[in-house]
Structure 1
Amino acid sequence: MFPRLKLLFCAAVLTLSVTAPAFAADAPSYGPQLQGFDYPYPVKQYSFTSQGAPLQMGYLDVAPTGHKNGQTVVLMHGKNFCAATWGDTIRALALKGYRVIAPDQIGFCSSTKPGHYQYSFQQLANNTHDLLKSLNIKKAVIVGHSTGGMLATRYSLMFAPEVSKLVLVNPIGLEDWKAKGVPYRTVDQWYDRELKTSADSIKQYELKTYYVNKWKPEYDRWVDMLAGLNNGPGHKLVAWNSALIYDMIFTQPVFYEFKNIRVPTTLMIGTSDTTAIGSDIAPPAVKAKIGNYKVLGKQAAKLIPHAKLIEFTGLGHAPQMEEPEKFNAALLKTLAR
């Protein structure tokens, strides 16, 4: 090797050896149940057995800080969210006298990531119902965001007498992507995709799909939350459960049962949301006609008997995080009706 090239080569190797550990140290890394991540309230654990496996379901149980009104609100998170992402809404509800329960579903966040689990919205609804029974909660307001909206719909169909109100916040599943032409991914294909998840890919996806290309510094915490979970010692188990959950979402639509909902329902929709499962591999003609929440919200409000629609013009997939004051005021007004 020529002396100059050899010098440059050695310098490059030295640079990489010095800087690579620094990058690794800067990247968040959390345990398989999100150990190390700071929740806004103490995380409790509900231990139970399901499908032959001992499981732990993390949840927040926040008592009213204002005058108690005797009501409980259950907050169901989305696919790329956790109980922690409800922090602003939990504070607003507790201040108005509500008891708030915010679970992390099995396979997510502070809960167990099973090696084998047959995911269904019915199973997750049963898990949540058992949690509420263990807390002696006989009736509650159910609020579901994103994938949590699909779960909240299923829960309300299964346990209608125990649901006082249903609120769906930019729920996915307002359409059947498969029926509209989105190609099927196998669980193995989802798994390969999830193994490649990084902080940058999370941020780019959320920027474009969730936040209408407007990023706020406070969103970085939620990128770190997901990236740290994926980057931690449970990397493969987290990716595997994520793949199973995506398969559940894609193959188990609730869209066709909206007409059967029998509890008072409010849809809260950020109109600029473009979330659609599988849109990244959908043909252009299919991609162009899915994920249009400005239209989907209105359509769903007509399908669900006597549903009310609240639109947040120009907001994206997570209005409770984009404009928490506006969202919380609308939610509290809805619950007070």
Structure 2
Amino acid sequence: MNNSEIGNIIDVKGINTNVHDLGSGFPLLLIHGSGPGVTAWANWRLVMPELANTRRVIALDMLGFGYTERPKDQSYTMDRWVQHTVDLLDTLEIEQADLVGNSFGGALALALTIRHPQRVRRLVLMGSVGVPFTITPGLDAVWGYQPSLETMRRLLDIFAYDRSLVNDELAKMRYEASIRPGFHESFAAMFPAPRQRWVDAMASSEADIRALPHETLIVHGREDEVIPLQTSLTLAQWINKSQLHVFGRCGHWTQIEHSQRFINLVSGFLVEADRLQSTH
């Protein structure tokens, strides 16, 4: 077991939640994606330390993922995930945070911002779900994962443009994570076939998205085979105060494949917000 994956286990309204909490300053909440064996640490390990130089970085394992407790009923909905995230902010006594959502985490960040607009200062959506699209073969394969090292290797080929970044060591780590007690059971319960309905269930309404007043940074990999680039183009059209950055030679993991560029981009976007806040 990789102890780095475990931060602090804290009680979030009765749910033991694994949380990494680094640095100090304005809070930045990182919400991971939904791949098999995912944890906050696996998703964000390359960017957390540097982002934490200038702000308080919080990354949690979402309900049913990683080292956070799994609900007995194995029932997972966007309502439940949003509530768990808001409950975490309440538990940590954080009134407002910047949010970064990756893939599934993007849909969650979007839904949270729509329902609790005052809790969010700025929004970053990366390879995000949250608008209607036809499920890709890549996403269908990710959500339909049946544990084996070979299958995990194939999934990493789908996730990354540059295979050298996702070596066999990462495949082994993610595979071993996916077969820990309880991990696959909860994962299999989240997205059973037919899987288009889960894409649809994660989408927020166009009217709600268009009504968002938040400054939003949208990031996508041009070669993403999991979530089509079109989703980010749609978000960029619907969100009034948005900017879109597309990384070439990049698959679904911008924060892993282009980690330094991702850090620079997000830092610049948030520093602007810090500056504006300090002048008011």
For Structure 1 versus Structure 2, the TM-score category normalised by the shorter chain is 0.7 to 0.9
Residue type matched to 1:94 in 2? A
CA contact (8 A) 2:12 2:88 kept: no
CA contact (8 A) 1:176 1:255 kept: no
Q: Corresponding residue for 2:45?
A: 87
Find out whether 1:275 has 2:223 as its counterpart.
Answer: no
Give TM-score scaled by structure 2 length.
Answer: 0.83
| Residues 219 and 259 (structure 1), Cα distance of their counterparts in 2 relative to 1, 3 Å cut | farther
How far apart are residue 127 of structure 1 and its match?
Answer: 0.8
Partner of 2:211: 260
Which secondary structure does the structure 2 equivalent of 1:91 belong to?
helix
- The alpha-carbon deviation at position 222 of structure 1 amounts to 4.0
1:75–1:144 Cα contact (<8 Å) kept: yes
Structure with greater Cα Rg = 1
Q: Report the CA distance shift for 1:255/1:314 in structure 2 as closer, same or farther (over 3 A).
A: farther
- Percent of matched pairs sharing the same residue: 21
Return the match for 1:76 from 7, 16, 31.
Answer: 31
Aligned match of 2:256: 321
1:168 shift after superposition: 0.4
Alignment of 1:269-308 (within 5 A): 269-276=220-227, 291=228, 293=229, 295-308=230-243
Of 247, 250, 257, the residue aligned with 1:312 is 247
- Confirm or deny: 8 A CA contact 1:142 1:165 kept in the other structure: yes
1 CA distance for matches of 2:87 and 2:202?
A: 22
Q: What's the secondary structure of 1:56's corresponding residue?
A: strand
Find the aligned partners of 1:330 and 1:167 in 2 and give their Cα distance. 10
- Show CA shifts across 1:45-90 (max 9, x none): 22245xxxx53221111124xxxxx311000000013210201211
| TM-score w.r.t. length of structure 1 | 0.70
Q: Distance in 2 between matches of 1:298 and 1:173?
A: 12
Cα distance 1:241–1:56, how it changes in 2: closer, same or farther (>3 A)? farther
Give me the CA root mean square deviation: 2.7
Call closer, same or farther: CA 1:210–1:306 in 2, change over 3 Å. Answer: same
Secondary structure in structure 2 of the residue aligned to 1:59:
strand
Letter in 2 for 1:267: I
Whether 1:43 aligns to 2:7 is yes
Aligned to 1:129: 86
C-alpha displacement of 1:150: 0.3
- Tell me the SS of whatever aligns to 1:39: helix
Q: How many residues align?
A: 263
Q: Does 1:108 align with 2:65?
A: yes
* 2:159 corresponds to which of 198, 210, 215: 210
How do 1:23-62 and structure 2 match up within 5 A? Answer: 36-39=1-4, 43-48=7-12, 54-62=14-22
Deviation sequence 1:237-282 (CA, Å, 0-9, x none): 2444443696644433226342132211110111111214xxxxxx
Query: Are the aligned partners of 1:274 and 1:316 in contact in 2 as well (CA < 8 Å)?
Result: yes
SS at match of 1:327: helix
Q: Deviations over 1:78-134 (max 9, x none)?
A: 001321020121111112x20010010011011122331432222211111111111
> Within 5 Å, which residues of 2 pair with 1:154-193?
154-177=111-134, 193=144
